Structure 1
Amino acid sequence: MFFKPMRLPLFIILCLTILLSSCSQYQRVLRKDDMGKKYTFADSLYKKGKYKKALKLMEQIVPAYRGKPQGEKLMFIYANTYYNLEDYYLSGYQFERFTQAYPQSDSAEVASFKAAKSFYQLSPRYSLDQKDTDKGLEKLQEFINKYPNSDKRMEANTLVAELREKLEKKDYEVAMQYLKLDDGLKAAIDAFDNFITDHPGSKYRKDAFYGRFLAAYKLAINSVPSLVQERLITAKGYYNSFIKYYKDTDLGPEATEIYQDIESRIVAPETEPTI
């Protein structure tokens, strides 16, 4: 029994031919020293969204084109290739290099924004070290200050708000962790104090006022007898600060209950007998 050789449809054959031809052409350009061909081919691949292949060519030719007329475009798409590949460390670095090398470029504003957004993308979840978050905030604010009328300003402000809330949550959670520790109550009071000062518009502000009051109360009732009265009075002061702003909130009744316990524990000072 004989089997006839299977014939591939003409369309598939053409596609395979084009693909193999394209791959061999890419390899030839990659291996040769013709900078002009590398530039043209890299630009073509970039426009087609073939960023990994384009990047290999760009890495070979970027040094040769610095300071030349084609260098401005090449440096921008080089940075943007890293951005599209989600390599935000290198995209941030390369976009910053672009803005320094071509401050008058028509692409300088976009490059500045994408540099800042690259650092925003590097910001980790709130529970981790926030060094990159701080840098992202710094770069976004620099962009807003430099381009106050940019059409990217609204997005930049949104990103700033997101990063600030992440820092707020980080600081608040640190204070709350101290509050849960018997030997961390002093640190909790300090942490809540710093939070209230550093984040005046935070959505966690009410909880920070209450947390400071609760920490002071716990510290007072668990102190050695000689310090109890002094610390109860301090806790009472924190209660007054809380109810000044948040008396009618969901935490108000609980705070008042604790306050009543404080009042029952405070010993009235003895008065001198009159003669």
Structure 2
Amino acid sequence: MKKNSYLFLTVILLFTACKSSRLVNPGDTVQEAYQKGITKFEEGSYGDAAEIFETVTRVGRGSEYAQEAQYYLAESYFNQERYILAEAEYNRFITFYPRDSKRQEVDYKKALSIYHQSPRYRLDQSATRRAIEEFQLFNSRYPDSRFVTESAGKINELREKLARKYYESAQFYSRTDQYKAATIYYDLVIDRYPESKWAETALLNQIDTYNEYAVNSILNKQVERYNLAISSYEKFIQLFPQSNARSEAETFRDEAEQGVKDAQEQLRQRETNQGN
């Protein structure tokens, strides 16, 4: 029965391997095609290897060679830096062979494939967030894995990128005098990524931005917004007590406190004038 199955696969390969005809001979068995794929892979000819392995996965479905070919197909795309295709093929391996001994490695390589799809910080960060989720899931599923330390490092790197995106957005809103939006985005950096290198500067800038917001507000709103600057200063001192920017933060606080006094005095004068 087993012999007949391989003969059947050979016939199928004969009629379906047109795509790989320059790499796989029409008379090759699935095993022979798989071995040719391995040879190409070991030579570093990943494009040719992927083409062969893709044929083996189709033609030899259900065989041990198809299972190994699925793994090497994903690896070939990964080594070619074709990360979208690599992710798809690692996913297919996980779906078809969830109990395979290479599952842990494949899960990690899938996360790495998504990581490599993460663009520079100015662009849409959907892939960045997906990669973080995949690495976190990996670390939760395999806490003793040899990849955990590297995975944790990738998470930190990607979180820094997300923090920078929020920080740069805040900077943009601040430069264009959109003070409320700027303070919101500084808050996102501080609250979501407090461990990032952007958090300290974000909080310092938030103090200054609240002061600018107050200066450019109507008198009735100034006290409230200067007090927000003072609250941000208190948060800064709590989170970064040893900061090298402490003196700058204190200057911003002094400006806010003086602003509160000046605004309150103006409000009192206005009430007095209205009373007269």
Deviations 1:99-154 (A, max 9, x none): 22112211111111111111111111112111111111111112111111111111
- Larger of the two Rg values belongs to structure: 1
Call closer, same or farther: CA 1:146–1:82 in 2, change over 3 Å: same
SS at match of 2:143: coil
Deviation at 1:31, TM superposition (A): 5.7
Matched-pair identity in %: 29
Give the equivalent residue in structure 2 for 1:116.
Answer: 111
Preserved CA contact (<8 Å) 1:179 1:211: no
Q: In terms of mean alpha carbon deviation, does 27-36 or 155-164 score higher?
A: 27-36
State whether structure 2 residue 215 is matched by structure 1 residue 221: yes
State whether structure 2 residue 102 is matched by structure 1 residue 101: no
Q: 2:207 and 2:179 mapped to 1: Cα distance?
A: 11
Give the equivalent residue in structure 2 for 1:85.
Answer: 80
Give the equivalent residue in structure 2 for 1:211.
Answer: 205
State whether structure 2 residue 174 is matched by structure 1 residue 194: no
Q: 1:27 and 1:230 mapped to 2: Cα distance?
A: 75
Preserved CA contact (<8 Å) 1:92 1:119: yes
SS at match of 1:261: helix
Matches within 5 A, 1:1-275: 29-30=23-24, 32=26, 34-36=28-30, 37-182=32-177, 184-246=178-240, 248-265=242-259, 266=261, 267=264
Where in structure 1 are there 5+ consecutive unaligned residues?
1-25, 271-275
Give the equivalent residue in structure 2 for 1:12.
Answer: none
TM-score by length of 2: 0.80
Deviations 1:222-257 (A, max 9, x none): 112232233223322322322334455332222222
Call closer, same or farther: CA 1:63–1:221 in 2, change over 3 Å: same
Deviation at 1:88, TM superposition (A): 0.7
Call closer, same or farther: CA 1:238–1:158 in 2, change over 3 Å: closer
Call closer, same or farther: CA 1:43–1:258 in 2, change over 3 Å: closer
Call closer, same or farther: CA 1:261–1:168 in 2, change over 3 Å: closer
Deviation at 1:35, TM superposition (A): 4.2
Call closer, same or farther: CA 1:120–1:29 in 2, change over 3 Å: closer
Call closer, same or farther: CA 1:49–1:237 in 2, change over 3 Å: closer
Call closer, same or farther: CA 1:128–1:105 in 2, change over 3 Å: same
